[in-house]
Amino acid sequence: MSLTAPPAPAPRITYGAVLGSPYVARLLGGTLTGRLPNGMAPVAILLWATATGGSIAFGGLLSALYGLSSALSQPVKGRLMDRHGQTAVHLPAALLNSALLVALPVVGPQGSRALATAVVVAAGLTTPPLEAGLRALWPSVLPNPRLRHAALALDTGTQGLLYIVGPLLVAALASAYSPSLALAVTAALGLLGTATVASAPPSRRWRPAQPTSTDGGPGRRLTSPGLVLLFVSLTGIGFAIGSMNVWSIAMAKHHDQDMLSGILPAAFSTGSFLGGLVYGRGTWTGTTTGRLIIAGVAFLAGWLPLLALLGPYAATFAVIVPGAFLTVVVACAYVTTDTLTPAARTSEAYAWLILSIGAGQAAGTALAGRLAEQPLASAALPAAGAAFALTILLAARPRQPPLAAGPTPPPVPGPAQDPLNPLTFRPI
Three-state DSSP state, 266: helix
Output the 3-class SS for 200-212: CHHHHHCCCCCCC
pLDDT band per the 50, 70, 90 thresholds, residue 1:
very low
Q: List, in order, residues 6 or more apart from 35 with CB less than 8 Å away.
A: 130, 131, 159, 162, 190, 193
| Residue-wise pLDDT tens digits, 129-148 | 888 888 788 888 888 877 87
Q: What is the pLDDT of residues 181-205, one digit of tens each?
A: 999 999 999 999 999 999 999 998 8
Tell me the three state secondary structure of residue 403: coil
For residue 421, is pLDDT > 50? no
pLDDT digits (tens, 9 = 90+) for 17-49: 778 888 888 999 999 899 888 888 887 887 888
Q: What is the pLDDT of residues 59-99, one digit of tens each?
A: 777 877 888 888 888 888 888 888 888 899 999 999 999 99
Stretch 218-225: mean pLDDT:
58
Give the three-state DSSP class for 293.
helix
Does pLDDT of 240 surpass 70?
Answer: yes
Whether pTM > 0.85 for this model: the answer is no
- Checking if the pLDDT of 101 tops 80, the result is yes
What one-character-per-residue DSSP string does 231-258 give? Answer: HHHHHHHHHHHHHHHHHHHHHHHHTT-T
Average pLDDT of span 340-360: 79
In this structure, how many other beta carbons lie within 10 angstroms of the beta carbon of residue 167? 18
Residue type, 332: C
Helix (H, G, I), strand (E, B) or coil at 149: helix
Q: At what angle do helices 130-141 and 87-107 cross, to 10 degrees?
A: 160
Neighbours of 399 (CB within 10 A): 9
Model pLDDT, residue 30? 92
